[in-house]
Amino acid sequence: MYPVNTSTAARSSYHHGDLRNALARAAADLAATGGPDAVTIRGAAREVGVTPTAAYRHFSSQADLLAAARELAMNGMVVAMAEYLGQVPDDGDPVDRAIERLLSTGRGYIRFAQDEPGIFRTCFTGQLRGAADPDPGLDAMGPYALLGQMLDELVALGYLAAEHRPGAEAGPWAAVHGLALLIIDGPLRDFGPAERNAAIDQTLAMTVRGLATGPRGRAASH
């Protein structure tokens, strides 16, 4: 009944050696299949082959474990999005290209939510207010930073007016975030693929049009 060496750097017998990470990983796995509600101390401990109370040596509470899972989930999300974004071709008109990159970022966001709803939900839903969060919000800023770069590009190219740049992340982010949630566990969840994609295209098109406040933006109709 000694701990099973599930994955990395684990000593062989009584002391696990890397229990914290192993538990966090297990928690992330649970989140992937069952969403944040499936992240449980007992479940993670069981998966690692360890007593539930052992987990309390490394995590002060279930919320703490969930936070660790969320961090891993967030990493997974930015990696997946970056990977998806890397596939967009780098040719054509600069403005079109910048817009295409923005669109791909949004599509990557929504696609990830659809492909890994459990992880996506874990990233964003069920945040505790008073939880001990060392860097508040900054860990969830992965997609935010990415979006910021896109918008900077659009300003530089004259598509988005400079005076509209401050705080411009809110709109596009809200749009893709909301759409993702409406699709994965909102009223749009039983749309077929066609309707779903139509909703995505329409939302992204509206967003891009709504950002066209600069000189070059008002020219392009899209």
Partner DNA sequence: CGTAAACTTTAGGGGTGTTAACTTGGCATG
Partner DNA sequence: CATGCCAAGTTAACACCCCTAAAGTTTACG
Q: Which residues bind its own copies (CB under 8 A)?
A: 37, 124-127, 129, 136-137, 140-141, 144, 164, 167-168, 170-182, 185-190, 195, 198-200, 202-203, 205-213
H/E stretch holding 118 reads helix 117-124
Specify the stretch interacting with DNA by CB under 7 A; choose among 36-44, 123-131, 161-169, 179-187: 36-44
Q: How far apart are CA 188 and CA 135, in angstroms?
A: 34
Shortest Å distance, C-beta 47 to DNA: 10
Binding status of residue 14 toward DNA by CB under 7 A: yes
- Hey, is 38 helix, strand or coil? helix
Nearer to its own copies, 67 or 200 (CB): 200
- Is residue 126 at the binding interface for DNA, with CB under 7 A as the rule? no
Distances in whole angstroms, Cα of residue 141 to Cα of each of 71, 77, 96, 129, 173: 11, 11, 26, 17, 11
Confirm or reject binding of residue 209 to DNA (CB under 7 A). no
Binding site partner of 42, from its own copies, DNA, none, Cβ cut-off 5-8 A by kind: DNA
Distance in Å, CB of 70 to DNA, minimum: 15
Specify the DSSP element, H or E, that contains 78. Answer: helix 62-85
In the set 5, 6, 34, 40, which binds DNA (CB under 7 A)?
A: 40
Least distance from C-beta 14 to its own copies, angstroms?
37
Q: Which of 53, 125, 149, 202 binds DNA (CB under 7 A)?
A: 53
What's the Rg (C-alpha) of the chain? Answer: 21
From 142, 152, 151, select the one nearest 171 (Cα to Cα).
151
Q: Pick from DNA, its own copies, none: which does 175 bind, CB < 5 to 8 A by kind?
A: its own copies
Binding of residue 42 to DNA (CB under 7 A): yes
Q: Which does 11 bind (CB under 5 to 8 A by kind): DNA, its own copies, none?
A: DNA
102 within 8 A of 52, measured Cβ to Cβ:
no
Give the interface segment with DNA, choosing from 7-15, 132-140, 176-184, 193-201 (CB under 7 A): 7-15
Supply the DSSP string of 161-220, one letter for each residue: -GGG-TTTTHHHHHHHHHHHHHHHHSGGGG--HHHHHHHHHHHHHHHHHHT--SHHHHH-
Tell me the three state secondary structure of residue 125: coil
Q: Residue 169 and residue 129: Cα distance in Å, rounded?
A: 23
Binding residues for DNA, per CB under 7 A? Answer: 1, 3, 11, 13-17, 19, 40-43, 49-54, 56-58, 60-63
